[in-house]
Amino acid sequence: MNYWLMKSEPDVYGIDHLAAEPGQTDHWDGVRNYQARNMMRDQMKVGDQVFFYHSNCKEPGIVGIMEIAREGYPDFTAWEDPEGKYYDPKSDPDNPRWYMVDVRYVRHLKRIITLRELKQYADGELADFPLLRRGNRLSIMPVTKTQWAFILGLE
């Protein structure tokens, strides 16, 4: 089993949105970055555990856990609505450029583990954690089993 972290802006789609979905499951659409796409398309497996991270907000940090419910498949938001935010004329059903996965809500953390707190371990236990790397902008990143356990231990 693999571990991941996925970012979303809570004003756009936060963990409470996911928890309120039917079956507490939804597709993770709108990723338009090749590295992130490759992880969803090629590496994520059903049952993988994922940290839900709130970005671009007052208190950025890890707010909960979800799991992969369906493995990579074409992101139809690239073509369903030409006026849509995620429309990309270079992607179509016959030759999809973008992929997504389905995620299922597991639980909220007992408290938000903030980016500020995680940074305290940037030179220690979380030295290789991509989230803390300078200038990092990846919206999806792998988490090692060790990092996963350490972060959950902070809860």
Partner DNA sequence: GCCAACGTTGGC
Q: Note the residues at the interface with DNA (CB under 7 A).
A: 7, 9, 32-34, 55-57, 60, 90, 115-116, 119, 133-139
The token duo for 96 is 């999809």
Toward DNA, which CB reaches closer, 22 or 83?
83
Toward DNA, which CB reaches closer, 119 or 145?
119
Least gap, CB of 121 to DNA (angstroms) = 14
Toward DNA, which CB reaches closer, 42 or 47?
42
Least gap, CB of 39 to DNA (angstroms) = 13
Toward DNA, which CB reaches closer, 138 or 152?
138
- How far apart, in Å, are the Cα atoms of 110 and each of 7, 40, 58, 107? 19, 27, 18, 9
Least gap, CB of 80 to DNA (angstroms) = 18
Beta-sheet strand order (sheet of 49-54): 25-27, 99-114, 61-74, 49-54, 3-8, 140-143
- How far apart, in Å, are the Cα atoms of 93 and each of 75, 76, 77, 89, 154? 9, 8, 11, 11, 43
Amino acid identity, residue 106? V
Least gap, CB of 109 to DNA (angstroms) = 16
Reduced to 3 states (helix: H, G, I; strand: E, B; else coil), residue 15 is helix
